Amino acid sequence: MPLNFYGHPFSSYCQKALIALYENDISFEFRVIEPGADEIVAQWAGLWPLKRFPLLVDGDRMVAESSIIIEYLDLHHRGAVRMLPDDPAEALDVRFMDRFFDHYVMNVMQVPVAEALRTGDARKDIALAEAKAALETAYAWLDRRLAGKTWAMGDTFTLADCAAAPSLFYADWVHEIDGYPNLRSYRSRLLTRPSFRRAVEEARPFRPYFPLGAPDRD
């Protein structure tokens, strides 16, 4: 039975999980949640009343939350590219970086995007100013942390890089990474990774919908 993946190509958290699927060439059916896809939307909402995507369904098992989906794939659909090291102490470090990217980059970047989608300019502008300040702190910390590293943890691509790729991709659109050479080159390196490149290309047609305006790069 194929894996079913509920989500949308333009969603940052979906891209995070898609990277793990693409890294190991795991086959799945993409059930796109979009206007008009009433049956898919009803299935998804029935399975996960919190109505967040991505959502993975493997037989009778439902798996929510992008990090958990990636860990689930690493356990049950393991490929050559491991998303977490076997060593528990090293795995804890990977999970820490995954949490950093989700909480301090991805979620921060999403606040002004959500405000732009649903409210007037005043709240959006406040949210944008707050996000820029918070991202600046995160960028400075990451720039020091990434010195001398190829990927978030060093030489090996992991769960942390799955989280980093869409976080930094969209965060740079919200507040450009300026003056942080290690972080800028890490973002560029992520964009050359074939799994992420594929996710970015699949999402390209949706760029006009980015509510803050997608810059003409990447």
Ligand X SMILES: N[C@@H](CCC(=O)N[C@@H](CS)C(=O)NCC(=O)O)C(=O)O
> In the complex, which residues of this chain contact ligand X (CB under 6 A)?
11-13, 51-54, 65-67
Q: Give whichever of 164 and 184 is closer to ligand X, judged by the CB atom.
A: 164
121-128 contacts, C-beta under 8 A, 24 or more apart: 128/174, 128/212
**Least Å distance between CB 40 and ligand X?**
14
Report the DSSP beta bridge partners of residue 77.
Answer: none
**Least Å distance between CB 64 and ligand X?**
7
**Which two three-digit tokens encode residue 161?**
């890089």
**Least Å distance between CB 113 and ligand X?**
9
Q: Give whichever of 103 and 144 is closer to ligand X, judged by the CB atom.
A: 103
Contact between 9 and 32 (Cβ < 8 Å): yes
**Least Å distance between CB 95 and ligand X?**
13
Q: Give whichever of 67 and 195 is closer to ligand X, judged by the CB atom.
A: 67
* Cα angle 216-53-28, degrees, rounded to a multiple of 5: 90
Q: Give whichever of 17 and 184 is closer to ligand X, judged by the CB atom.
A: 17
**Least Å distance between CB 7 and ligand X?**
8
Contact between 214 and 207 (Cβ < 8 Å): yes
Q: Give whichever of 44 and 139 is closer to ligand X, judged by the CB atom.
A: 44
31's CB contacts (< 8 A; 6+ apart) are 4, 5, 6, 7, 37, 40, 43, 44
